[in-house]
Amino acid sequence: MNEECLICHAPLEYLPSDVLMECALCHRKELSKTRCIHGHYVCNACHTSGMDAMICQCLQETSRNPIEILEHLMALPFCHMHGPEHHVLVGAALLTAYARAGGEIALEQALTEMLSRGKNVPGGACGFWGACGAGISSGMFISIISGSTPLTVEPFALSHRMTARSLNAIAEVGGPRCCKRDSYLSILSAVDFVREHFGIEMEKPEVICSHSKENNQCIGKRCPFSILNHASPNE
């Protein structure tokens, strides 16, 4: 088994309803459905500790390739194989690539807003809310660049359409969850969406996942990014 629990590395379990749990790191008590099989719980805040470093990383990026930027962010110490950090990183990578491709935004301000919004989507939203946080993050990205609020018209519609497109791509592949796969799917969906609706051309590379060995629930060839789908017949 690869790392699951941040305390003892045991597999996680998901409960049918919320239970009051105490974080093993900061001792904060809160309701959650997730813990390891030995009872350890790590809250979202501790799980994503240090995530504000992504703002400095993004400001140093010069690429208009959001997948490349995402990989740099996922290599930072705060990022794990799975976790709510991806609910911020998808939008952050897109904001950065959008700015580098000519999108007119105040990048540092936009990244700060993305961090604030994305941190509010908890881990496990994919299974319990019916809406993966990576897909929601792509909608937050569109909301930020379009200036959407609950009272706007077209920006309101666009951000919902973006989230819907990402979630549909995620649903087409199905479960179990993989934060890397769902992040890639959301970003690739957003690259097309931004070209169609904003006329900004971010790069859209072919993605081959390098994280499968870290994922206990990897779906192998069913994943569109699996290296198994890119190997030659003789390999």
For 70-74, 92-96, 231-235, which range has the lowest pLDDT when averaged over its residues? 231-235
Q: What are phi and psi of 191, to 5 degrees?
A: -60, -45
Beta carbons within 8 Å of 134's beta carbon, 6+ residues apart: 86, 87, 90, 126, 166, 170, 179, 182, 183, 185, 186
Token code pair at residue 205? 């590379």
Alpha-carbon span 81 to 200, nearest angstrom: 30
Q: Which residues make beta-bridge pairs with 19? A: 32
Please state, rounded to an integer, the average pLDDT across all residues of the chain. 94
Sequence-ordered alpha helix ranges (H) in the chain: 44-47, 53-60, 66-74, 86-100, 107-118, 125-128, 133-146, 154-173, 179-198
Residue of 194 and 49 predicted with greater confidence: 194
Alpha-carbon span 143 to 165, nearest angstrom: 14
Give the model's pLDDT for residue 1: 45
Q: What pTM value is reported for the model?
A: 0.91
Alpha-carbon span 81 to 11, nearest angstrom: 13
* Predicted confidence (pLDDT) per residue in 141-159, tens digit: 999 999 999 999 999 999 9
* Predicted confidence (pLDDT) per residue in 97-133, tens digit: 999 999 999 999 999 999 999 999 998 999 999 999 9
What is the chain's alpha carbon radius of gyration, rounded to the nearest angstrom? 18
Give the model's pLDDT for residue 47: 85
Helix (H, G, I), strand (E, B) or coil at 31: strand
For the beta carbon of residue 224, count every other beta carbon within 10 angstroms. 15
